[in-house]
Structure 1
Amino acid sequence: MEEKKMFGAIAVVAVILVAAFCGVTLMKDDKDTYEAKVTGNVPVFGNANNDDYIDSHDIDQLNAIIDDGSWDKTAYPYADANQDGKIDSADVDIVNKIISGQNCNLYYVDIYDDVVKVSYPVSHSRVGVSYWQQAELATLMGIWDNVVLASTATTSSNSHRYDTSNIEKSFSGSKITSELILECRCDFIIASQGKSDVVQAAIDADSNITPYYVDVSKSSTYVSTVLTLGVLLNENEEAQAYADFVNGIKEKISSGMEKVQEKAKTVVTLMYANQSTRANIVVECEGTGAADMIGLIADVYDSSTKSTSDYRMNVEADWFIQNCGTAFDFIIIEQEGTDTKKVDDTYYTPSMYNERFEEAITYYSSTQAYASGMILGTTYSYNSFGGYANLLYLAYLLYPDVFSEEDGWNALQEYFDNFTTAKINVKTQGGWYYTGTSYSAYNERLAQ
């Protein structure tokens, strides 16, 4: 951890410079017409032109800086590949090793804005994941077969979706422990930011363990998270495929939203299978992964009285009656535990989802949204890497005259075909959205 602290100040400067510079296009100072699209998505030192790749163009950029004799740190914050404070042939050598997958020391900026040194490529022959979102990340990176330690949220609740024959030990919820990490002889851990103390305790006992921390509450960082991990593991093809998928979704969303005069005013709720035993309903406010992602297509309700720890509110059903039509118009219900949940060793079904949704909307039956068909059903998926796959269909539910239902289904199918181990037909396997007929106002609104 001392090495992280040593480089912390450098990282903060780099992040500030990137924030000021993102979106700019850089052209090399020679006859080559290649243009680097500056994104800040890959904060790995050696990514000299600050785009989404580490490739020969970074070599060209380094050589241009060397030939020029001066280094513009604002334009090229990640050019110093070996972190010695200058740009020279040694940096070129490091980038050549990264490109060819040769062993070297690699530096990157983690989610804490610290500069971390790792041995490249990071060994990941025995992987531990702290919860279901991290399992999802391992899968889309193509390294699921190397996972030996995982939550029962994956090994039990989703054992029909994952091949769990490689799992040696599991734990309930997100309660990964240092002891389990050591017992499984993990060399790589993908964990949420809240598990850093647990993971560090294991590292203190075994320095061969490399951690990678993930903040799933910020969907805007998912592409960066995946691309950076792709570089560290030298699994760039898989990472780029996911980035292309998400960027494609965002482009369709952006194009469609240009035709929307005003974003729909929504409130996002989370409802559980045992909702009838709960006194309150959860409202997801700004700061949650759901509000972050759904905010791309809607004006999501927020409150100054939300929890400062999980950014949620707990309210009674009457709260929706009082605020619907003023603070928000649409009620979006995220159903927890539907999508690919296991039921009798097979998948949750659309009919199961419809039945549960029809029960859930009774909580809001006295609201204006209910009468107008503006209660929408979706799943608890928007705080995970697969959330983008659901976004186009939700956009259709909000703006049926702009977005296509079929595009929504196709995006979800593409995600499962290319980024999961589950080969399913999403229209018949899994509970994703309300497709029933009993909520007539809902169907009438979509048909208009």
Structure 2
Amino acid sequence: MKTKIVVLVGIAFCTMLLVSPALASDTGTIEIYGNANEDDTIDMRDLTYVKLIFFGKKPETELADAKYDGKINPLDFIQIKLIIVRKESELTLVDSADRIVTVKKPIEKIVVLDSDAAEAVTVLGKGDEVVGIVDSVERKSFYFPEMSKKPIVGTWKEFDYEAIAALDPDLVISYVSKVSGVDEHLEPMGIAVVALDFYKQNTLSEEVEKLGCILNKRDEVKNYNDWCKEKEEEVKSLVDGLTEEQKPTVFMEGKYKGPGEIGTKGPGSASDDLCAMAGGINIAGDLDTTYPYVTWEWVITENPDVIIKEKYTSPCWCWDNTADPQELIDEITGRDGASAITAVKEDKVFACCCEPLFGMDSVVGLTYRAKSLHPEFDLDPDSVYKEYVERYLNIEYPEGMIPLYPPPGS
């Protein structure tokens, strides 16, 4: 068994019976103890498998010890049965920081330490159980009109642990990058901490699965995953028909500090993954770092077919006018040497709001990205976004909102 940090926490957990293949983890294995045959679900096959281990007919697997007590025995049989029927009182999982976490029911009070966790909890219908937030959730009141009013326990980078403890939460959800410090402060207080990111495409499905188990929202997870798969397949079916020559080269610009220092998205970034899935070729995809800075001269030399300015617009949702995104585009097209770039010559410079690009709504971002790279695709990203926010966030989609400008093909 791998060596991991063991954290005992008191939260609810139940396992999912089905995982959306389009959003499954790289391994295809849901890391929940009780998943004895180490596939993508816990079902009667796991009960059979763990019995075969007990009787010496199968080798022991890492996740077979459903009770996580160091031995395989009939208690594991009972635990797996309880998981299947959603009646377990505790369960053990591996979170996204590779920590082994034992959890108990019920979950009634949640603290979210980032807006991605807030969105995931909302999508699964448990937003009312959030009792504490950070400032990034407050700024996104457009997504979280009620949750944004909850007590603030810090910023997304620094937390007030006394304020968290005063809320007496059953569960605290943290980014992987922050969980070590969070757990160091809260574990001695007996407060449960689970690391789940909800913004990386290769772990999103399994993280949603685990949260759904924790919150006893298995059916809601299946509904969400199935919807995402449907929308993703719409894009994939179109991209699969492209030749390599039909895939445009793309420069995705982030923070602009001047012509000698322009932020972009390299290999391993969410934008790089999104670009490839949408049928594009990231000109920074072969650089050495995930979030490199490049020069404008380098961009001119690379001569991209499409330029996309990615911009966070918080505390506004996206743009409610064309002047603001047009100003971003004009700044790019007005730079020295810009007129020599194919994207500028062919009017393929876009401003894109970052809000739907990453996280729980990333399939919306995928649809926008595919439409910007291939305006000929029969896709309606505005409708996909509207469906997401009204169906899963239970809020009204603002008429006239502009997530991407100009409209592709206009």
Instruction: Please say whether Structure 1 and Structure 2 have the same fold, judged by a TM-score greater than 0.5.
Output: yes
Q: Conserved in 2, the CA contact under 8 Å of 1:306 and 1:312?
A: no
SS in 2 for 1:169: coil
Q: Do the aligned residues in 2 keep the contact of 1:352 with 1:431 (CA within 8 Å)?
A: no
1:44 paired residue number: 32
Work out the CA distance in 2 between the residues paired with 1:356 and 1:162: 29
Q: 1:173 to 1:69 in 2, by over 3 A?
A: closer
Q: Does 1:71 align with 2:50?
A: no
Contact 1:177 1:198 (8 Å CA) reproduced: no
CA contact (8 A) 1:66 1:88 kept: no
Check the 8 A contact 2:319/2:403 in 1, yes or no. Answer: no
Contact kept in structure 2, 1:332 and 1:378, CA below 8 Å: yes
- Residue 96 of structure 2 aligns to a residue whose secondary structure is coil
Question: How far is 1:57 from its partner?
Answer: 5.1
Query: What code does the residue aligned with 1:281 have?
Result: I
Matched, 1:141 2:124: yes
Query: Do 2:329 and 2:349's aligned partners in 1 also have CA atoms closer than 8 Å?
Result: no
2:314 equivalent to 1:331: no
| Distance (Å, rounded) in 1 between the aligned partners of 2:202 and 2:184 | 30
Partner residue in 2 for 1:411: 384
Asked if 2 retains the 8 angstrom alpha-carbon contact of 1:178 and 1:202, the reply is yes
CA contact (8 A) 1:162 1:421 kept: no
- Helix, strand or coil at the partner of 2:92: strand
TM-score by length of structure 2 reads: 0.81
Q: In structure 2, how many angstroms separate the alpha carbons of the residues matched to 1:390 and 1:362?
A: 24
Counterparts of 1:51 and 1:257 in 2: how far apart (Å)?
Answer: 29
Query: Is contact 2:265–2:285 with CA below 8 Å preserved after alignment?
Result: no
Aligned to 2:115: 132
Q: What is the aligned partner in structure 2 of residue 195 from structure 1?
A: 178
Highest relative contact order (Cα 8 Å, sep 6+), 1 or 2? 2
Q: Distance in 2 between matches of 1:246 and 1:322?
A: 37
Q: 1:105 aligns with which of 87, 90, 100?
A: 90
Aligned position for 1:374: 348
Taking a change above 3 Å as real, the CA distance of residues 348 and 378 of structure 1, as seen in their structure-2 partners, is: closer
1:430 pairs with one of 401, 406, 410? 401
Q: Which runs of 5+ in 1 are unaligned?
A: 8-22, 24-37, 437-442
Displacement of 1:294: 2.8
Partner of 1:312: 291
Quick one: which of 194, 200, 222 aligns to 1:218?
Answer: 200
Contact 1:269 1:283 in 2 (8 A): yes
Provide the rounded CA distance (Å) in 2 between the counterparts of 1:246 and 1:71. Answer: 36
Residue equivalent to 1:281: 262
Q: CA deviation at 1:114?
A: 3.4
Q: Is the 8 A contact 1:126 1:187 kept in 2?
A: yes
Sequence identity of aligned pairs in percent? 22
Aligned residue for 2:251, secondary structure, equals strand
Deviations 1:183-236 (A, max 9, x none): 3222211111121133213323311x2112123563121111101121122221
Cα shift readout 1:237-282 (whole Å, capped 9, x = no counterpart) = 22222221222233223222210111432222125xxx68897331
CA 1:200–1:84 in structure 2 vs 1: closer, same or farther (change >3 Å)?
Answer: closer
Distance of 2:388 and 2:6 partners within structure 1? 40
1: distance between equivalents of 2:182 and 2:370? Answer: 38
**Is there any run of 5+ residues in structure 2 with no aligned partner, and where?**
8-20
Distance 1:167 1:357 in 2: 34
Instruction: Find the residue that maps to 1:295 and give its secondary structure.
Output: helix
**1:400 shift after superposition:** 2.8
1:264 matched to 2:243? The reply is no
* Contact 1:270–1:283, Cα closer than 8 Å, also in 2: yes
Distance 2:92 2:281 in 1: 38
Distance 1:66 1:304 in 2: 46
Secondary structure of the equivalent of 1:230?
A: helix
Over the aligned positions, Cα root-mean-square deviation in angstroms equals 3.3
Partner of 1:394: 369
- Which whole-Å CA distance do the structure 1 matches of 2:81 and 2:102 have between them? 18
- Residues 13-56 of structure 1: CA deviation (Å, up to 9, x unaligned): xxxxxxxxxx9xxxxxxxxxxxxxx9725211223454544345
TM-score (norm 1): 0.75
Provide Cα deviations, 1:366-404, integer angstroms capped at 9, x if missing partner: 322111233233222433221222211221221233x22
CA offsets, 1:119-178, max 9 Å, x none?
A: 2x3x43221112222221221122211222212222134257421376022433432232
Q: 1:246: which partner in 2? A: 228
